[in-house]
Amino acid sequence: MNKIENPDRSTWAEILKRPTQTYDQIESTVLEIFDKIKSYGDSAVKQYTEKFDGILINNLEVQQNEINAAVKELSQDLKQAIELAKKNIEVFHQAQKTNPVNVETAPGVNCWQEKRPIQKVGLYIPGGTAPLFSTILMLAIPAKIAGCKEVVLCTPPDKDGNINPAILFTAQLCGIDKIYKVGGIQAIGAMTFGTETISKVYKIFGPGNQFVTVAKQMATKYNVSIDMPAGPSELLVVADDTADASFVASDLLSQAEHGIDSQVILVSTSKGLIISVEDEINIQLVQLPRKNIAEKAIANSKLIYVKDHKTALELIDEYGPEHFIVATNDNAYYVDNIANAGSVFIGNYTPESAGDYASGTNHTLPTNGYAKQYSGVNLDSFMKSMTFQELSPEGIKNIGNAIELMAEAEGLQAHKNAVTLRLNKLAKD
């Protein structure tokens, strides 16, 4: 890891730069694949699946017998763990339901707001080197609580054309309507345009690599919404001498093993802790099955010493981490004042892994600095707020003249007439 001591503010942007390609570098590839899928549907999806995943899939949709086999293959212990996580995630997201807002803004003028589910949503679940079945819980559960009518799932197949059993079990447990064996850019394209087999959706959710991230951003040009431009995973830990170095190292490595383009950062007011964490990383790293991936991610990461908590917080807000762990002698300072973070984990016994799996919070979070303007996925992500208004005769009398004056001032005579006609009718009655 790169050790940096008291960096000047003028260097922060460069120090905190993510190890990702730019949109422009990937855009042409995405456009080519999108154009083919828009024109040739399933045929193009199968072609790119064979090219990128090394397998020709004849039937893109997962069949029930495949799901049944997966359920049998999974251990009872893992099934119970998934069910426990599902319960906690349901509890937390059920609690996010809100009542309609209803107010009389003026006598006879009633306005209210209600939330309605997005009817068709698509979930993207990474497969590859780490089949993220936990992400199904994070997306399908709020989708179902929200009341989305159609929920489809795309995930890449392995070299034998199969889907990880835990993904299939979790998808069925959560009541997913359709599961498709397709990943990457071609999955996002299929859900954007629809094919003979795969439904077009109104909003796409789920994390992915840089290609998936750009594909999701491209989908927004075709009237499809997305949860957020979430790319490679990242973690920032702020810690001092009160932190356990082995815990900090384990948290940094837990994110580093996601992928070679993941980034982890330690910000500390203790030089001694930085040395201890670096030693622990070297000890723990050699024991990881995904050592090669974690090593490459660690190469993109930083150990940053700063003089005090105030400077640390300013640096962290500049970065806007996806995951933010606080392990200091003044956790409340960070919790009360942090402005930019996807999800915050407080204290020595709150690993980022808790939020990834079973605490109940959602792990689909903004990366690449988007925590400065995006929220993580929540119940409202699957809903739209609709406003309503109803004016009585008294109501139109109370605000009608104001509407007439404003419409006339904007040069919109028909707007004024719509009110004037009503007021004239009431005057005659």
Closest CA to 176 of 207, 132, 198, 144: 144
199 marked ligand binding residue: no
Q: Is 356 annotated as a binding residue?
A: yes
Q: What angle do CA 86, 365, 372 make, to 5 degrees?
A: 150
Q: Is residue 420 packed enough to be buried (19+ CB in 10 Å), middle (13-18) or exposed (0-12)?
A: middle
In angstroms, rounded to a whole number, what is the distance separating the alpha carbons of residues 400 and 391?
10
Q: The tokens of 10 are what?
A: 């003028």
CA distance 380 to 384: 7
Task: Assign 171 to helix, strand or coil.
Answer: helix
pLDDT at residue 260, as a whole number: 87
What pLDDT sits at residue 414?
A: 98
**CB contact set of 384 (below 8 Å; sequence gap of 6+):** 115, 116, 117, 118
Q: What is the mean pLDDT of residues 189-214?
A: 94
Asked whether the beta carbons of 146 and 382 are under 8 A apart, the reply is yes
Mean pLDDT of 127-153: 94
For CA atoms 142, 145, 147, 151, give the dihedral sign: positive
Residue 139, CA distances (Å) to 114, 135, 209, 284, 351 in order = 22, 6, 17, 32, 21
Q: Give the pLDDT confidence score for residue 233 in this predicted structure.
A: 87
pLDDT tens by residue, 282-330: 999 999 999 999 999 998 889 999 999 999 999 999 999 999 999 999 9
Q: Where are the alpha helices (DSSP H) in 320-378?
A: 331-337, 352-357
Strands 234-239 and 178-181: unpaired
Residue % of the chain over a pLDDT of 70: 99
Full set of structural domains in the chain with CATH: 2-8+232-360 (3.40.50.1980), 23-228 (3.40.50.1980), 392-428 (1.20.5.1300)
Residues 6+ apart with CB under 8 A from 100: 112, 113, 114, 115
Q: 410 labelled as ligand-binding?
A: yes
d(CA 243, CA 235): 16
Residue type, 166: A
Q: What is the DSSP letter of 184?
A: H
Q: With H, G, I as helix, E, B as strand and everything else as coil, classify residue 21.
A: coil
For residue 178, which of 118, 116, 121, 119 has the smallest C-alpha distance?
121
| Non-local CB neighbours of 34 within 8 Å, separated by 6+ positions | 185, 189, 192, 193, 215, 218, 222
Cβ 372 vs Cβ 340: under 8 Å: yes
CA distance 71 to 326: 38
| 309 annotated as ligand-binding | no
**330-342 residue pLDDT tens:** 999 999 999 999 9
258 labelled binding-site residue: yes
**Any binding-site annotation on 353?**
no
User: 233 among the known binding-site residues?
Assistant: yes
**DSSP-derived secondary structure for 26-44:** HHHHHHHHHHHHHHHTHHH
Confidence of residue 18 (pLDDT cuts 50, 70, 90): confident
| CA-wise closest residue to 171 among 143, 136, 138 | 136
**Residue labelled with tokens 């940053």:** 304
Quote the CA–CA distance of 396 and 18 in Å, as a whole number.
55
If 0-12 CB within 10 Å is exposed, 13-18 middle and 19+ buried, where does residue 289 land?
exposed
pLDDT of residue 15: 94
Known binding residue 363? Answer is: no
Q: Is 360 left (phi over 0), alpha (psi -120 to 50) or beta?
A: left
**Helices assigned H by DSSP within 257-327:** 271-285, 291-299, 309-319
Instruction: Count Cβ atoms below 10 Å from residue 421 Cβ, excluding itself.
Output: 10
pLDDT at residue 230, as a whole number: 76
| Residue 124 known to bind ligand | yes
Asked whether the beta carbons of 215 and 188 are under 8 A apart, the reply is yes
Q: What is the pLDDT of residues 208-243, one digit of tens each?
A: 888 998 999 999 999 999 999 877 889 999 999 999
Cα-to-chain-centroid distance, residue 102: 31
- The pLDDT-based confidence of 21 (bands split at 50, 70, 90) is low
Residues marked as catalytic: 322-323
Neighbours of 370 (CB within 10 A): 18
pTM (2 d.p.): 0.93
- For residue 368, give the nearest of 153, 208, 200 by alpha carbon: 208
**Mean of pLDDT values over 258-270:** 93
Per-residue b or e along 34-56, where b marks 16 or more CB atoms closer than 10 Å to that residue's CB? bebbbeebbebbbbbbeeebebe
